[in-house]
């Protein structure tokens, strides 16, 4: 069994990171996902994360994913089907609240049965696969932290306008 594990700290609350883990949000940040469409019924945003939810994903490869476990804002695990040359492919995202925001860890595990493919897999993951994963996680971090900065800036502007109105009212009363 091969295992890849990557962690990143994102200055955003787990709830915001969680939203980006929905499969239809992966194309925004995940280098290996061009599009994702839910194949299970989705009536509410929560349905995207429920056990049994499934999606068809396209990128360099096409595959299906099914949610095997889900604990809101903490952990989501999926089984990936149809990835060429690999079987028993799973991926788990774990979110941990920290003082700095959220520590997100991704663990991917898979089996490669063919000896030649095993050798190619090790080389590929060493050179390209893990670097692409790191770039994807950095892009996710960038998107979320910019979003959080925009939210803070927006709130700051509202506070400033409110303060200016209060100041004008106070001056009028004098």
* Residue 9 · residue 100 · CB < 8 Å: yes
Residue, of 67 and 133, whose pLDDT is higher: 67
The predicted model gives 121-135 an average pLDDT of 66
Residue, of 130 and 30, whose pLDDT is higher: 30
Closest CA to 62 of 48, 82, 39, 79: 82
Mean pLDDT for all residues in the chain: 85
Cβ neighbours for 133, distance < 8 A, ≥ 6 positions apart: 4, 6, 31, 106
What pLDDT is recorded for position 111? 82
- Does domain 2-143 correspond to CATH entry 2.60.15.10? no
What pLDDT is recorded for position 88? 87
Break the chain into its structural domains and give their ranges.
2-143
What pLDDT is recorded for position 86? 75
Look up the pTM and report it.
0.78
Lookup: tokens for 112: 């490669």
Q: Measured in Å, how far apart are the chain's first and last C-alpha atoms?
A: 76
The predicted model gives 127-156 an average pLDDT of 77
Count of residues making up the chain: 174
């Amino acid at each position: 069994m091969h295992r890849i594990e990557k962690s990143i700290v994102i200055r955003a609350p787990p709830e915001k990171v969680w939203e980006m883990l929905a499969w239809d949000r992966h194309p925004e940040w995940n280098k290996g996902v061009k599009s994702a469409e839910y194949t299970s019924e989705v009536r509410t945003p929560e349905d995207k994360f429920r056990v049994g939810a499934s999606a068809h994903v396209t990128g360099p490869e096409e595959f299906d994913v099914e949610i095997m476990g889900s604990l809101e804002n903490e952990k989501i695990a999926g089984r990936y089907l149809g990835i060429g040359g690999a079987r028993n492919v799973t991926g788990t995202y774990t979110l941990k609240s920290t003082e700095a925001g959220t520590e997100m860890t991704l663990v991917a595990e898979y089996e490669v049965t063919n000896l030649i493919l095993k050798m190619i897999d090790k080389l590929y993951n060493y050179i390209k696969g893990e670097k692409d994963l790191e770039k994807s996680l950095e892009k996710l971090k960038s998107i979320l932290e910019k979003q959080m900065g925009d939210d803070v800036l927006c709130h700051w502007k509202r506070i400033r306008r409110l303060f200016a109105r209060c100041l004008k009212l106070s001056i009028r009363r004098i």
